[in-house]
Amino acid sequence: MKKTLLCLALLAVLNACDNKKESQETAAQPEQSQAQLVHNENTAEQVEQRFRDLYSRKNQLLNVIAAHSAGADAFQLSVQDYQRGAESSTATLQLTLNLEQYLKNVDKTLSSEPVTLKFTSKIDHSAALAKEGIVAKAVSNVVVDDALKARFELDEEQQKVLTQTLSYLQLNVDFLADDRVKEEILVLPIHRSEEGKSFDYEGFSLTSAFKQSDIKDSPFYPATIALKSGDIKSVNGEDAFIIDAFEGNGETKANGDWFIKTTPINFHNDKQKQQIRIEEIVFQGEKQRYENDTGIMLGNQRYLANNISVKDAEGLNFLLKSFEIKSGVQKTNDLYDMSFASTAQFGDYTLPMNVIPFKFKQIKLDTALNRTNPKLAQQAMQEMQAGNTNQEKVVSDLVANAAQNRSTLDLAFDVDTQEGKANAKMNARFADDVKDVTLEKIEQYLIADAKVVIDESLVKATGMEQLFEAQLGPFIKKENGKYLFDFSLKDGKATINGQPAPIPMK
């Protein structure tokens, strides 16, 4: 009996403690709810600030690009109608493009009214998202509204096509802690079919990660880049053209260095047994920057494709080990030095028809145009497109300016084949005492030197040796199994190997 009473007393004490705890929790609930509301409100306010700040920075960046672009006069990106909620918010992004000058140059009959695109943005900043380490996620889609339809004067079918096309575009932004942002530009999967034809694309994404405060007035800021392209399949009856999925990654730096490098890219038509494969493509920039007062991009660029192979059922088996293009613009005082180079390195290959009597090993072209004023050329082209001047006057003005700046041109061309080599080098410049240059008498002011060396074995491989020598008769000079040509232009007179020659530009 005593044990029973003791147990009952213990239960009563525990029950009293539990009731006290419940009453304490009940009393604390209003305080916790209030605290949660304050937390949600603070988070929502911070998210709105970051959202507005990001697109304010993007607007500044777009206008820097527009100032240096021939396609747009100005951009205006703004946040409209931001509606803040406790765990989610909405907003409208409005992008206005002023294309007046560009449209006038293309077709003066086109309307020069600005084009306005709107995006609806849904912004999630819930507690559940915070547990994933994401402060907020914004998903934005293009809206085809009445104003956009009216701007392009679209009929019902055109409106349908435009709406469907833009519906595949999406912009996702993750706002992370410590000022970090992850931005995705998406092309959503596309699946269309009609009367024995179909098109399927598994989608595309371009992702960049950066610090929000690093976006300022330059397109170059520290960021990592990743791209993904899904399978593409286009079917027409029994014929199917396919591009396999591929990826890429890269990086940009504040000093203007950047690169993007892809995985292998494959194009194939299995029915016709056609295949093109590119082992990798590299895009690269070095110390690039916009010059604010001219809009000219300074620095170097490089584009490289490695191991390009082409095969088909007709016997084509072609390998290009690499194809590279380099370009650069540097400034010295008020003038610019521009360079361009391309190199193609060939592997072994077979052709279904013997259209080329020799096999290439390498082709290389180098050019350098120094002491130039490219801004003047840009202005002249714009004037010509606008109808304010003609081509002859533009060329004449550019020649006169080149003479004034003592511009120089250097060319080098090399061909290496299994049957022999050929190379050519040329330098052209204006005489030091030139004052007034006219286009009609430009040869009087130019000084040019060129040397061409061609292996006899290469000419023989073409099967045109006799015709080659007959055409160049008095200028032919042979030494050690090579054809040598030494060209000179000075004081309006041209010679090849010391023999008077016609002037090419006449």
Q: Where does the pLDDT of residue 12 fall: very low under 50, low under 70, confident under 90, or very high at 90 and above?
A: very low
pLDDT the model gives residue 393: 77
Are 285 and 261 in contact by the 8 Å Cβ rule? The answer is no
Closest by CA to 424, choosing from 403, 449, 447, 400, is 449
Are 173 and 215 in contact by the 8 Å Cβ rule? The answer is no
**β pairing state of 493-496 and 478-479:** unpaired
Q: Please compute the mean of the pLDDT values over residues 169-177 and round it to a whole number.
A: 96
Polymer length in residues for the chain: 506
Q: Which residues pair with 311 in a beta bridge?
A: 275, 317
Share of the chain above pLDDT 90, in %: 54
- CA dihedral angle for residue 344, residue 346, residue 352, residue 358, rounded to 10 degrees: 90
For the chain, the domains span 32-168, 178-319, 356-506
Q: Where does the pLDDT of residue 245 fall: very low under 50, low under 70, confident under 90, or very high at 90 and above?
A: very high
Top pLDDT among 314 and 415 is at 415
Q: How far is CA 331 from the centre of its chain?
A: 23
Match 């942002």 to its residue by tokens: 181
Q: How far is CA 205 from the centre of its chain?
A: 15
Contacts of 53 (CB under 8 A, 6+ apart): 212
Distance in angstroms (rounded) separating the CA atoms of residues 323 and 199: 31
Distance in angstroms (rounded) separating the CA atoms of residues 237 and 89: 47
pLDDT digits (tens, 9 = 90+) for 407-434: 999 999 999 999 999 999 999 999 887 7
pLDDT the model gives residue 438: 76
Distance in angstroms (rounded) separating the CA atoms of residues 177 and 47: 11
Biggest CA–CA distance in the chain, Å, is: 137
Outline where DSSP puts E strands in 52-203: 74-83, 88-98, 115-124, 134-143, 169-176, 180-187, 190-194, 197-201
Distance in angstroms (rounded) separating the CA atoms of residues 354 and 185: 47
Contacts of 440 (CB under 8 A, 6+ apart): none
Match 């709105």 to its residue by tokens: 48
Query: What type of residue is 162?
Result: L
- Which pTM value belongs to this model? 0.82
Are 122 and 143 in contact by the 8 Å Cβ rule? The answer is no
Closest by CA to 397, choosing from 441, 444, 438, is 438
